[in-house]
Amino acid sequence: MDGFRIFITEDDMLYGEMLKYHLSLNPDNEVHLFRNGQECLKNLYRMPSLITLDYSLPDMSGLEVMRHIKKENPEIPVVIVSGQEDVSTAVTLLKEGAYDYFVKDDDVKDRLWNIIKKIRENLLLKSEINKLKDEIGRKYEFRNVIKGNSPAIRQIFTLIEKATKTNITVSVTGETGTGKELVAKAIHYNSPRAKKPFVAVNVSAIPRELIESEMFGHEKGSFTGAITRKTGKFEQAHGGTLFLDEIGEMDLHMQSKLLRVIQERELNRVGGNETIKIDVRLIVATNRNLSDEVAKGAFREDLYYRLLGLPIELPPLRYRGHDIIILAKYFVDGFCAENKLRKMSISEAAQQKLMQYAFPGNVRELKAMIELAAVLTDSDVIDEQHISFNSGSVATNFLLEENTLEEYTSKIIRYYLDKYNNNVVLVAKKLDVGKSTIYRMLKEQRV
């Protein structure tokens, strides 16, 4: 940590000089003495770590100086060191945000050293927290966590990048296991809100009767069992991002409450009268088709349009072609590192087997499958026999989609193009069709 800068604001020159001399005995302390409030305020740009204020200054009262300081930078701890032995003055100052208040008596120096120690510890903790937040930010740098190079995923990168630059609500859709929460985190940790909280709520996991209190908090005694005041997820996410997963599971009553909070940007805790302003960026996710839910009357249309914001539709893994292999290698590397195993490779046959599977559980399923394969193999190579599918045959999975013949044709060609790096000649040969058929379909954007 850098030096600890202390401002002493004291018009009693003897007392001020004596404190300055005393606190400078620790060479880590950089102590500055000011004789009045204005001088202290003029120097706030030097970002002191602590300010001591005499209550009776020649140009303004300690309370006025403190109010200015708090307006400029509420984080700076202000300690009042005063000759006033009046309890009500002390209470007023403490209520207004003074870190501490003490009278100029024999204990002043010990109390100051204790306060400095506490503030230094707090600053160290804050700096540790900031370092950790930076690390999390780097961890969630989206190209580090969302692996792949397919056109579908490159499009997602573009959208994520756009989402990080504004506060627009983002709605992430996609099948289970496609990485909706990962996308939400990537947006949060790459946005200006990165140092503020990311709060994730799985709406479907909260019992209906508790959801309002979970989201908006409650006051003590507002219902049986509310033994203390509790802040809700919105308040916890203040300044940061609130991720509402499975938003499609929210009941209509709660939807109307959520709509009000989003529109007004303020809330009342359950059983409370106080209106609390909130500044929260919303990211919602669902694996349901919300417009269908609106049509069915299960989702409010006004809320749907409020939440739609920037839609990001995550592609199923089966449409991401070679990304399957990129992800498989990423997961096997991660698993080996985490478990201190030797680096492993995936055989060509195992890769072929992976490429032929539909992955109904998407990336989550692939990860579990690869980790199991890494455990099953006795060598440094994961081979096809180590890959076990959980969801029936490849053909069954494919047919389960219930597409039209043309859609199947299109998907088959897309699949082969991804698999063989858009080599039309090779794909035509593999599928035993003319290459002009494929070119025509591409030209007509049917693939």
Partner 1 sequence: MTMSDEKLYKLDKLFEYVGDSQETIREMVNLFLQSADEIKTQMMTACRQNNPEGVGKAAHKLKPSLDIFGVNNLAVQVRLIEKIHLDKEMCLNLHQIVKDFLDKLDLVVQQLHHDFPSK
Burial label, 80 (beta-carbon count in 10 A; 0-12, 13-18, 19+): buried
Distance in angstroms (rounded) separating the CA atoms of residues 67 and 97: 9
**Based on CB atoms, which residue is closest to partner 1, 11 or 181?**
11
Q: In terms of CB distance, is 56 or 114 closer to partner 1?
A: 56
Task: List binders of partner 1 among 153-172 (CB under 8 A).
Answer: none
CB of 84 to partner 1, least distance (A): 8
Q: Is 296 helix (H, G, I), strand (E, B) or coil?
A: helix
User: Within 288-327, which residues bind partner 1 (CB under 8 A)?
Assistant: none
Q: Which of 15, 157, 389, 398 binds partner 1 (CB under 8 A)?
A: 15
Pick the piece of the chain touching partner 1 (CB under 8 A) from 17-25, 202-210, 327-335, 378-386.
Answer: 17-25
Cα separation, 176 vs 323, in Å, equals 17
Site for partner 1 in 20-49 (CB under 8 A): 21-22, 25
Q: List beta partners, residue 284.
A: 171, 244
- The residue range among 15-23, 227-235, 275-283, 319-327 that interacts with partner 1, by the rule CB under 8 A, is 15-23
**Alpha helices (H) in 24-101, listed in sequence order:** 37-42, 62-72, 87-95
Task: Out of 18, 336, 431, 447, point to the residue binding partner 1 (CB under 8 A).
Answer: 18
Determine which residue in the list 6, 7, 8, 19 makes contact with partner 1, applying CB under 8 A: 19
Give me the count of residues in the chain: 447
Region binding partner 1 by CB under 8 A among candidate stretches 9-17, 170-178, 383-391, 418-426: 9-17
> Any bridge partners for residue 60, and if so which?
none
Of the ranges 104-112, 176-184, 301-309, 371-379, which one interacts with partner 1 (CB under 8 A)? 104-112
Residue corresponding to tokens 């990962």: 182
246 Cβ contact list (under 8 Å, min separation 6): 202, 203, 204, 205, 285, 286, 287
402 binds partner 1 (CB under 8 A): no
Nearer to partner 1, 13 or 337 (CB): 13
What DSSP designation does 44 have? Answer: G
83 binds partner 1 (CB under 8 A): yes
Cβ-based nearer residue to partner 1, 83 or 239:
83
- Least Å distance between CB 114 and partner 1? 16
Output b/e per residue, 334-362; b: 16+ Cβ within 10 A: ebeeeeeeeebebbeebbebbbbbbbbbb
Find, among 232, 243, 251, 216, the residue nearest to 307 by Cα.
243
**Is position 13 an interface residue for partner 1 (rule: CB under 8 A)?**
yes
Question: Residue 39 in 3-state DSSP?
Answer: helix
* Interacting span for partner 1 (CB under 8 A) from 10-18, 370-378, 405-413, 422-430: 10-18
Asked whether position 11 contacts partner 1 by CB under 8 A, the answer is: yes
Is there a contact between 83 and 55 (Cβ–Cβ < 8 Å)? yes
11/161 with CB nearer partner 1? 11
Q: Should residue 14 be labelled a site residue for partner 1 when binding is judged by CB under 8 A?
A: yes
- Residue 94's φ and ψ, nearest 5 degrees, are -65, -40
Closest distance of CB 23 from partner 1, Å: 10
Alpha carbon distance 16, 127 (integer Å): 30
Instruction: Provide, rounded to whole angstroms, the least separation between the CB of residue 10 and partner 1.
Output: 9
- Please report whether residue 175 would count as binding partner 1 according to CB under 8 A: no
For partner 1, the binding residues (CB under 8 A) are 11-15, 17-19, 21-22, 25, 56, 83, 104-106, 109
